[in-house]
Structure 1
């Protein structure tokens, strides 16, 4: 009971420190369209979860053991490879779904991304380079969510519940931006609540994927890499599939909000579900091994 009390205290302190500056800056500098008017506030936002971890560990005298700051266990290379490949495959699969089921007229070859091979490769390379350049921001979030919050919640509840709750907390952390149209725009029914629901769903399944990468390597770096590459590649490459070569949008069978959800979410949900199953199997195997040893 005493250990659980300490865990609850540390978790609460971490969440206050991670949320408070983001909500203050998010509302103070919002442009009311889903972005921030202050560049410093925008550039620093993703670093606050890591800052919250450092302060929490120092204040509670927890120390920095089990911080997932090593580069990984033996044979971690394949997980780094997965963290790199997944963000590249995601927009390609999403673009295919978009043109198979949602675009009314025109083919994938008419899209801005597919119409010019050199331009497509350039866009992809720039997105990858941008993702690597922004890796510190990804580390800022992953050191907090996957490196600290999920393990703390696992001390209080089963792993699946911890992963899901982390996803919800992570999604709502974006609240000040979501309230004004971040990620999903403003032109849809049930705004902005639909955006909150969509972000929660997305973050839950991505939470499973990123937790799986962290646990399999015992490092936050693969998750940070995957996180930032998803942010940069998905935005740039997928939007290239969503418009024609001349930059005008295709005609969709639904509005842009549902176009994005129906195109992008299937792979996120499938991959997240698979990772959740793998996490549960790993947990069960570890418990059985512990029972056998006892």
Structure 2
């Protein structure tokens, strides 16, 4: 008896999710990004940025689970305020340390850059949280991470999510939306993924906190870079500082909590899965003719 496609989805939800995420986002970006130039390219990229969310909803439905139940679980924000404070403090802390290093390496702030950088930071926090990264957390931490942690350690799951998360951005480099070094950016995303797992597991699976941290991270790492005058003002690649800052944070978390959980809490696995009678009925019907 051969397995049906739904059986494969049932056995490999994370792999199916990753494939669909790439298909959804790249399916938008590959035809659109080459046709757009200038500042509008980032606007054109926005629909594809919802691929992680869309793929998570589709795989949840294919498995016969409640999409509503998954969303309710994902949007459950009722956690101690300290986890929201941590979501802000970790990226701000690392970015501040990077800022000190950049200030030294660039011989101070560039003239007339600090005030515009601070104004842009305030706007970027809101934008990045809602549209420019935060919405991805419905998929990366809201779906993929808990499914992977059902089989693997928190550190292994973090690296896998981080690797696919980095690969997902590939069209941004191919079509010039991002101008940083791709390899350095990929390394940064992988080590940052460890910090997200620490937050997710420690907060008992609080995706809203991860959304907030994603937005703060995207906004805060660019603040010191703009203040010193951009990447050209630095004698080392900007991505090297990103990898160093978040890499040291990741090493500290592994040393403190261990690779199995990366937090004082347990590995968080899917909480929205149930008996799935609809999925079982579908599988049984398919099996009659197999």
> Shift in Å at residue 280 of structure 1?
3.0
- Report if the CA contact (8 A) 2:25-2:51 is conserved: yes
The DSSP-based 3-state class of the residue aligned with 2:64 is: coil
Aligned length: 255
What does residue range 82-231 of structure 1 map to in structure 2 within 5 Å? 82-100=86-104, 102-103=105-106, 107-110=107-110, 112-113=112-113, 119=115, 123-124=117-118, 126-137=120-131, 138-185=133-180, 195-217=181-203, 218-231=205-218
- Report if the CA contact (8 A) 1:35-1:177 is conserved: no
Match of 2:227 in 1: 240
- 5+ residue gaps, structure 1, are 186-194, 288-294
1:80 is aligned to 2:84: yes
Q: Deviations over 1:151-181 (max 9, x none)?
A: 1112232221111011000000011112244
Distance (whole Å) between structure 2 residues aligned to residue 197 and residue 9 of structure 1: 28
Distance (whole Å) between structure 2 residues aligned to residue 34 and residue 208 of structure 1: 34
- Report if the CA contact (8 A) 2:166-2:189 is conserved: yes
Distance (whole Å) between structure 1 residues aligned to residue 226 and residue 130 of structure 2: 25
Match of 2:12 in 1: 9
- Report if the CA contact (8 A) 2:125-2:219 is conserved: yes
The DSSP-based 3-state class of the residue aligned with 1:227 is: helix
The DSSP-based 3-state class of the residue aligned with 1:30 is: helix
Distance (whole Å) between structure 1 residues aligned to residue 145 and residue 41 of structure 2: 31
> Shift in Å at residue 223 of structure 1?
1.2
- Report if the CA contact (8 A) 1:87-1:226 is conserved: yes
Q: Deviations over 1:117-151 (max 9, x none)?
A: xx2xx633542343224423334211100111111
- Report if the CA contact (8 A) 1:92-1:238 is conserved: no
TM-score of the superposed pair, with normalisation by structure 2 = 0.74
Distance (whole Å) between structure 1 residues aligned to residue 238 and residue 113 of structure 2: 16
Match of 1:192 in 2: none
- 5+ residue gaps, structure 2, are 267-290
> Shift in Å at residue 90 of structure 1?
3.2
TM-score of the superposed pair, with normalisation by structure 1 = 0.73
Q: Deviations over 1:172-211 (max 9, x none)?
A: 00111122444344xxxxxxxxx33212211111111111
